[in-house]
Structure 1
Amino acid sequence: MLTFAAAVILLIITPGPGVLTTAGFGAAYGFRPSLRYVFGLFLGTNMVMLAVITGLAAILLSIPWLRTILMIASVGYLLYLAARIALAGSRVAFIEAKAPPGIGGGLLLQAMNPKAYAVNTSLITGFNYAPGNPVFEVTTKALVTNAIWIPIHLAWLWAGVMLHRLDLPERTHRVINVAMALSMLGVVALAMLSALKGAT
C-alpha cells in the first residue's frame, strides 16, 4: 500500500490540467473564489474513478468516433480555461473573466481531462496489494487517493494565492496569468499529440 501511496503522490503532483488550473485560478482570483472550482475537480476526479472501476470509461473510450469527440471537446475546454486565466484582470477580454468557473467547471474539466482517466486507470488496475479481496483494495485505493488528492490540490491553490497576494505591479500579475495560460496550452498540445499518435 505504501508503494501505491507513493505512486498517487507522483502521479497527482505532476502538472496537468487540474493542478495547473487550480494554481492559475488561485493566482488570478484568490483562495475563496477558487475553492468551488477545486471542489468541482474533487467531485469530477471521483466520478472518473468510478467510471474506471465500473469499466464504463474503457467501454466509452474504445469507440473511436466518441473518443475523437471527447478529445475535441477536451481541447476546446482547456483552451477556454487558458483564456479565462490569461484574461483575468485584463481590460481587453473577449470573454467574461471576473470570476473562476464554479463547481460545474471543475466537474466538466475532470470529465474531459485525459490525465484524470490515465491516472485513475493506472492506479485502479495496477498496484495490486489485496488480490484476494478486490472490494477492500478498491475501497482503500479510493480513500488513499482522496486523502492525498485534497492536500496536493489545496497546496497548488495556495501557491497560486501566494502569487496573487504578492504586492506586484498589475503588469507582473498579467504576465503570471499569461504564463499559467501558456502552461495550459502546453497541456493542450500534448493532449493533441497523444490523440494523433493514438489514431495512427
Structure 2
Amino acid sequence: MAGFLSLTQPWQQVLALVFAATVVMGSPGPATISVTAIGAAFGLRHSLRYTSGIILGTTMVLLVVASGVMAIFALLPGMAPVLAIASAAYILYLAYRIGASSGVADLGISTRLVVLALMIVAIHVLWLLAGAAFARFLRRPLASRIINLIFAATLVLTTALAAWP
C-alpha cells in the first residue's frame, strides 16, 4: 500500500488522494449519517438544502485546516474543549431532530483542495441518495419511527466515537 501512495505520476497522486478521501470522508460519520437520515426522512428534493449546507460546511472545514487556522486553535488549549462541546451539542441536536422527525506530495495545494472538495460533494450526494432510497419504507408510521431512531442512535454513536480520545 505504501508503494501505491508514493507513486510520482500526477494522475497516480490524484488517484491516491481520491482513494484516501473516499475511505476517510466516505465512511459513516456524523455528517454522512445525518445526510442519509435527512434524505430518508424527507426525500431527495426536500433534503438538498440541508445537504448543500453540510457540503459547504465540510468544505469550509477543509479550507480552515489547509490554511493553518487549526494550528492557531492548537496554540489555544482552552479552545479545543469549547469547540468539541459546541460540535457535540450541535450533532446531538441533529440527532434529536432526526429521531423526532416523522417522516498527495507533488500536487499543488489548490489541486488537492479542488479534488477533496469534489470528493466532499460526491460522497455526500451518494449518502443522500442512499437515504432517499429509504424514503419508500417511511410511508408506514412504525417503520418510519424505527428507521429514524436507528439513524439518530447511529449519529450519536459515530459522534461519540469521533470525540473519544
User: Same fold judged by TM-score > 0.5?
Assistant: yes
Q: 2:123 aligns with which of 134, 152, 157?
A: 152
Q: Which runs of 4 or more aligned residues in structure 1 lie more than 3 Å from their structure 2 counterparts after TM superposition?
A: none
Contact 2:37–2:98 (Cα < 8 Å) also in 1: yes
Larger helix proportion of the pair: 2
Contact 2:100–2:148 (Cα < 8 Å) also in 1: yes
C-alpha distance in structure 2 between counterparts of 1:191 and 1:8, whole Å: 17
Task: Tell me how far 1:191 sits from its aligned partner.
Answer: 3.4
Contact 2:30–2:155 (Cα < 8 Å) also in 1: yes
* Corresponding residue number in structure 1 for 2:21: 8
Q: 1:141 aligns with which of 94, 112, 116?
A: 112
Q: Tell me which moved more, 145-154 or 32-41.
A: 145-154
> Secondary structure, in 3 states, of the residue corresponding to 1:166?
helix
> Secondary structure, in 3 states, of the residue corresponding to 1:146?
helix
TM-score under structure 1 normalisation?
0.71
User: 1:69-124 deviations in whole A, cap 9, x for unaligned?
Assistant: 1111111111110011001018xxxxxxxxxxxxxxxxxxxxxxxxxxxxxxxxxx
User: 1:6-52 deviations in whole A, cap 9, x for unaligned?
Assistant: 11111111011110000011111111221111111121122112211
Which residue identity lines up with residue 139 of structure 1 in the other structure? S
Task: Tell me how far 1:148 sits from its aligned partner.
Answer: 2.1
User: 1:117-144 deviations in whole A, cap 9, x for unaligned?
Assistant: xxxxxxxxxx3134xxxxxx11111111
Indicate the percent of aligned positions where both proteins have the same amino acid.
Answer: 35
Count of residues in Structure 1 that have an aligned counterpart in Structure 2: 152
C-alpha distance in structure 1 between counterparts of 2:146 and 2:102, whole Å: 11
C-alpha distance in structure 1 between counterparts of 2:20 and 2:131, whole Å: 24
* Corresponding residue number in structure 1 for 2:75: 62
Which residue identity lines up with residue 189 of structure 1 in the other structure? A
* Corresponding residue number in structure 1 for 2:49: 36
C-alpha distance in structure 2 between counterparts of 1:6 and 1:173, whole Å: 34
**Structure 2 residues without counterparts, runs of 5 or longer:** 1-12
Task: Tell me how far 1:167 sits from its aligned partner.
Answer: 6.4
C-alpha distance in structure 2 between counterparts of 1:182 and 1:54, whole Å: 34
